[in-house]
């Protein structure tokens, strides 16, 4: 009964469009490469880079802060890797290099825009039985791949599967400046005829997750490990999952992975509406164990060729998730950037201000020591800021900086409305002031998301360059007689 009342109250609160935007919130998008359905739309390397930067520009303008970039498709990849071939989406020819590294390019372009880039790894499915990637693994690891229909799957019941995937994820983590490793399909296939107990099946999948966790964290402990479980964890007391859930159906103990520290974040695929959505969203929140949960929303269902949902179905879900303190993730990118039913336009207003990724406080790393010597050179239209380096105390590789601006001093860095630039790596920026006298604050953020105390620009005694009088430019000294 308490859950029903809470859902009703959250729904009523979600109708209040003036709810304050949170400072910390995951706003993510899955950017799909399989078949080029989101990207790439061309086999030209030049066009691919142009397309990807245009997509990332759009995501940035909607204050999206996390991009799940599909790096392993079906035992095929979009980066150079000795043990698996290039995916066909890049050139039209399986195994052929596009002449550049799309994963590296995406990481660099995301970071330029202050967005995180997570390498999206499809784990258990390895594609059609006779495709290059599936054949390569079968040749190297006989009996590791199970055939179901004409598809191949890595066998969750063999320890080699966890070893292989752990090596793969560690290699991506070692070679690339990814912000996260995102595991997809880390479960039993729904067509798998399970001949062991469900408990043993869950232990098998959890063993794979544990191996990947250890491998990734041994290389870069600040890299966020996440997965996309089935959207309903299990049957609830009053609401049933209709036979499709993570825990019982496909042996994904995703909530247990949060509880036991094997996952930093979950992105449940909540491609439902009404009572198939809200009670299960509350359940994810109640079993988040202080970690990150950002449910996936089925914006593809808005399209007339899909279920033709009204826009309000998704926007209400977004509002309730925000009231619950959860993030949200759009599946998938093209439906978002195409502004299907107005979802992009709505999100631009909904995410009116940037947001930081919630910090991974469970890693128990001290926040950075603040930057110093914030210098502000004020102009008529733009202010130039520079500051000295903050000091990292987390053991990670570098710091990022957040810039806040306000007409009030001291600048309130807890207010999302004052955040103007997030996750900036350089130590000097130019801020448009729109003719206002702005005060500034700069904080440092480590790779775990821990934020330092701010360094502020000077208060009331701040020196400001005298504004240029356009009338003086036009009329010269003769202006004086009119004063």
Tell me the whole-structure pTM to 2 decimals.
0.92
CA distance 454 to 154: 49
pLDDT of 458 reads 86
In 3-state terms, the chain is what percent helix, strand and coil (to 5)?
35, 20, 45
pLDDT of 394 reads 98
Strands 439-445 and 400-406: antiparallel
The answer to whether the CB of 91 falls within 8 A of the CB of 43 is yes
Q: What is the pLDDT of residues 429-482, one digit of tens each?
A: 999 998 999 999 999 999 999 999 999 998 644 444 333 232 232 233 333 332
pLDDT of 60 reads 98
CA distance 128 to 147: 9
Average pLDDT, the chain: 92
What band does 17 get if pLDDT is binned at 50, 70 and 90?
very low
Mean pLDDT of 90-118: 98
For 149-271, where are the E strands, in sequence order? 151-154, 180-184, 224-227, 265-266
Mean pLDDT of 126-146: 97
Domains recognised in the chain with CATH numbers? 27-358 (3.20.20.80), 362-456 (2.60.40.10)
> Would residue 251 be called left, alpha or beta, if left means φ above 0 and alpha means ψ between -120 and 50 degrees?
left
Q: In what order do the strands lie in the sheet with 66-72?
A: 292-293, 265-266, 224-227, 180-184, 116-122, 66-72, 27-31, 328-330, 296-297
As a whole-number percent, the residues of the chain with pLDDT over 70 amount to: 91
**Helices marked H in 62-186:** 102-112, 132-140, 159-175
DSSP character string of 287-315: T-TTSEE--EE-GGGGSTTTT---HHHHH
CA distance 338 to 6: 34
C-alpha dist (Å) from residue 113 to 38, 67, 415:
19, 11, 21
DSSP character string of 424-447: E-SSEEEEE-TT---EEEEEEE-T
**Helices marked H in 220-288:** 254-259, 278-286
pLDDT of 6 reads 52
Mean pLDDT of 154-162: 98
The answer to whether the CB of 341 falls within 8 A of the CB of 308 is no
pLDDT of 241 reads 98
pLDDT of 470 reads 26
CA distance 69 to 106: 8
CA 56 to chain CA centroid, nearest Å: 12
DSSP character string of 347-395: HHHHT-S--BPPP-GGG-PPPPBPPEEEEEEE-SSEEEEEEEPPB--S-
pLDDT of 169 reads 98
Q: What is the pLDDT of residues 171-198, one digit of tens each?
A: 999 999 999 999 999 999 999 999 999 9
Among residues 275, 274, 331, 270, the alpha carbon closest in space to that of 303 is found at 331
Q: Is 244 exposed, middle or buried (0-12, 13-18, 19+ CB in 10 A)?
A: middle
Q: What 8-state DSSP symbol labels residue 451?
A: B
In this model, does residue 109 exceed pLDDT 90?
yes
């Amino acid at each position: 009964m308490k859950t029903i009342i809470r859902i009703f109250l959250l729904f009523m609160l979600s109708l209040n469009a003036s709810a304050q935007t949170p400072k910390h919130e995951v706003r993510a998008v899955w950017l799909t490469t399989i078949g080029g359905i989101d990207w790439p739309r061309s086999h030209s390397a030049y066009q691919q880079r142009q397309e990807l930067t245009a997509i990332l520009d759009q995501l940035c303008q909607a204050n999206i802060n996390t991009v799940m970039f599909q790096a392993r498709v079906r035992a095929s990849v979009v980066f150079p890797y000795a043990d698996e071939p290039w995916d066909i989406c890049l050139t039209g020819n399986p195994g052929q290099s596009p002449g550049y590294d799309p994963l590296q390019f995406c990481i660099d372009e995301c970071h330029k825009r202050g967005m995180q880039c997570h390498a999206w790894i499809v784990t258990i499915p390895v594609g059609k039985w006779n495709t290059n990637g599936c054949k390569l693994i079968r040749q190297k690891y006989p009996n590791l791949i199970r055939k179901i229909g004409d598809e191949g799957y890595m066998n969750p019941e063999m320890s080699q599967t966890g070893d292989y995937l752990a090596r793969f994820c560690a290699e991506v983590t070692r070679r690339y400046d990814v912000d996260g490793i995102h595991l997809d399909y880390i479960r039993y296939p729904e067509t798998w005829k399970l001949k062991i107990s469900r408990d043993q099946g869950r232990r098998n999948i959890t063993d794979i997750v544990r191996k990947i966790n250890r491998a990734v964290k041994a290389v870069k402990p600040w890299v966020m490990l996440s997965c996309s479980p089935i959207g309903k964890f299990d049957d609830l007391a009053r609401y049933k999952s209709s036979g499709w859930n993570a825990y019982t159906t496909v042996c994904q103990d995703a909530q247990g992975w949060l509880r036991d520290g094997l996952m930093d974040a979950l992105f449940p695929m909540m491609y439902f509406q009404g009572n198939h959505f809200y009670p299960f969203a509350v359940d994810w929140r109640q079993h988040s164990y202080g970690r990150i949960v950002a449910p996936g929303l089925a914006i593809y269902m808005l399209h007339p060729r899909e279920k033709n949902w009204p826009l309000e179905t998704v926007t209400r879900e977004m509002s309730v998730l925000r009231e619950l303190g959860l993030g949200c993730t759009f599946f998938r990118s093209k439906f978002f950037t195409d502004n299907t039913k107005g979802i992009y336009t709505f999100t631009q207003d909904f995410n009116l201000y940037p947001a930081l990724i919630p910090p991974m406080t469970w890693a128990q790393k001290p926040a950075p020591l603040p930057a110093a010597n914030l210098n502000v050179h004020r102009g008529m239209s733009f202010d130039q800021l520079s500051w000295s380096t903050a000091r990292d105390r987390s053991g990670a590789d570098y710091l990022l900086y957040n810039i806040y601006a306000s007409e009030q001093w001291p600048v309130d860095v807890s207010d999302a409305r004052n955040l103007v630039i997030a996750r900036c790596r350089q130590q000097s920026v130019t801020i448009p002031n729109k003719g206002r006298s702005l005060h500034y604050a700069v904080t440092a953020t480590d790779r775990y998301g821990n934020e330092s105390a701010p360094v502020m620009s000077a208060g009331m005694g701040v020196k400001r360059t005298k504004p240029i009088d356009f009338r003086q430019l036009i009329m010269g000294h003769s202006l004086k007689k009119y004063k």
